[in-house]
């Protein structure tokens, strides 16, 4: 599992190189210049460092190079993407120093950031606005209308160009995705933590839409106390509904305590186990262990 939540991206070269660890070789992303020229960025190394089950965890704030990597893994059917719809940052900016044009000025006059290119998936679809849609969507508190590139009034629109030539893997198919999604839908109805996460998001959305508060001190204090109770995370069960054992938060202090409160991460682990169990020709056997 590769956790790219809140990863705002970085180097395009690193995104291509990272993708190359999980595929043999081929195109990773396309770039379109203002004059219409299309440039394809390739992984040219035929070696594949890891060929096993792969899951990419994303959220609404996974952007830019993170989206390039997640999109490539998804398009090659090399792994699954889990989480929320990503940010939708599919543009390339270049910073121009204004000092070069105003050399007579005694002080620095600043910089100008100009959009120079757009990114496109190997399928030809832009990551702009739409971002990457997960194969398994977890509950989300954020709407595209308020957060992400699509919420910006001056953002460039989504569009498409021609697809590149690439060969997909046999790691992910519709049957595998159906099994994984079905098991997730079963858990979201019965898993206490998932149900509470969904309820917390719904409560948070209702509070955000509420545009008034009580000026009566006693009533306001009661409202605050109720909100605090609702936001309190329950103690994490050691075993989930399927009997799979998760790390005990009390065992390794702060590190595992943080893990125990991360419902997204724990659910992603369960989804990954489902993927491993259905992975073609992996030879991996998933067994359930009961805590004594």
| Catalytic annotation, residues | 64, 75, 89
Give the integer Cα–Cα distance in Å for 82 and 44.
27
Q: At what angle do helices 192-209 and 217-231 cross, to 10 degrees?
A: 150
* Tokens describing residue 23: 């595929």
Question: What is the β-pairing status of strands 26-32 and 111-120?
Answer: antiparallel
DSSP state letters, 14-82: HHHHHHHTTSSSEEEEEEE-TTS-EEEEEE-----S--S--EEEE-TT--THHHHHHHHHHHTTSSEEE
122 Cβ contact list (under 8 Å, min separation 6): 26, 27, 28, 29, 30, 71, 72, 75, 76, 163, 164, 166
Give the integer Cα–Cα distance in Å for 70 and 82.
10
Phi, psi dihedral angles at 271 (to 5 degrees): -65, -40
Q: At what angle do helices 65-75 and 12-20 cross, to 10 degrees?
A: 30
DSSP state letters, 238-265: SB-TT--B---TTTSHHHHHHHHT-HHH
How wide is the angle at C-alpha 191 spanned by C-alphas 196 and 236, nearest 5°? 70
């Amino acid at each position: 599992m590769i956790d790219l939540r809140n990863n705002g991206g970085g180097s395009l070269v690193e995104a291509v190189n990272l993708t190359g660890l999980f595929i043999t070789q081929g195109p990773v992303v396309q770039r379109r210049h203002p004059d219409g020229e299309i440039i394809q960025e390739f992984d040219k190394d035929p070696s594949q460092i890891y060929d096993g089950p792969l899951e990419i965890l994303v959220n609404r704030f996974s952007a830019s190079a993170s989206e390039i990597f997640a999109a490539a893994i998804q398009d090659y059917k090399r792994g699954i993407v889990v989480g929320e719809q990503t940010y939708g940052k599919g543009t390339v900016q270049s910073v121009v120093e204004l000092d070069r044009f105003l050399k007579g000025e005694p002080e620095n006059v600043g910089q100008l950031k100009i959009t120079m290119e757009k990114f496109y998936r190997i399928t030809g679809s832009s990551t702009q606005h739409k971002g990457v849609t997960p194969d398994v969507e977890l509950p989300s508190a954020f709407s595209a209308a308020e957060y992400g590139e699509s919420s910006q009034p001056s953002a460039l629109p989504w569009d498409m160009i021609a697809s590149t030539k690439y060969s997909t893997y046999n790691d992910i198919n519709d049957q595998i995705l159906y099994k994984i999604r079905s098991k997730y839908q079963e858990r979201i109805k019965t898993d206490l933590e998932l149900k509470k996460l969904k309820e917390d998001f719904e409560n948070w959305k209702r509070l955000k839409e509420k545009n008034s508060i009580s000026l009566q001190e006693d009533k306001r204090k009661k409202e605050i106390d109720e909100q605090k109770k609702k936001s309190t995370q329950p103690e994490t069960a050691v075993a989930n509904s399927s009997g799979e054992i998760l790390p005990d938060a009390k065992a390794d202090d702060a590190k595992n305590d943080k893990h125990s409160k991360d419902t997204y991460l724990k659910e992603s682990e369960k989804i990954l186990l489902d993927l491993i169990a259905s992975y073609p020709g992996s030879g991996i056997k998933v067994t359930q262990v009961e805590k004594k």
